[in-house]
Amino acid sequence: LGLVYVPTGNSAADYYSALRSPEENKVSSAVVAIDVKTGSPRWVFQTVHKDVWDYDIGSQPTLMDFPGKDGPVPALIMPTKRGQTFVLDRRDGKPVLPVEERAAPTRTDVPDDPRAPTQPWSTGMPRLGVPDLKETDMWGMSPIDQLYCRLKYRRAKYLGEFTAPEISRPWLEYPGYNGGSDWGSMASDAKAGVLSANWNITPLYDQLVRRKNAAALGL
85-132 pLDDT, tens digit per residue, is 999 999 999 999 999 999 999 999 999 999 999 999 999 999 888 789
Helix H, strand E, coil C: the string for the chain is CCEEEEECCCCCCCCCCCCCCHHHHHHCCEEEEEECCCCCEEEEEECCCCCCCCCCCCCCCEEEEECCCCCCEEEEEEECCCCCEEEEECCCCCECCCEEEEECCCCCCCCCCCCCCEEEEECCCCCCCCCCCCHHHCCCCCHHHHHHHHHHHHHCECCCCCCCCCCCCCEEECCCCCCECCCCCEEEECCCCEEEECCECCCEEECCCCHHHHHHHCC
Residues carrying an active site annotation: 54
Range 132-149 burial, b when 16+ CB lie within 10 A, else e: ebeeeebeeeeeeeeeeb
Write down the pTM of the prediction.
0.92
pLDDT of the residue at 184: 81
Per-residue confidence band for 181, with pLDDT thresholds at 50, 70 and 90:
confident
Neighbours of 117 (CB within 10 A): 13
User: What are residue 17's phi and psi, to 5 degrees?
Assistant: -110, 0
pLDDT of the residue at 191: 86
38-73 pLDDT, tens digit per residue, is 999 999 999 999 999 999 999 999 999 998 889 999
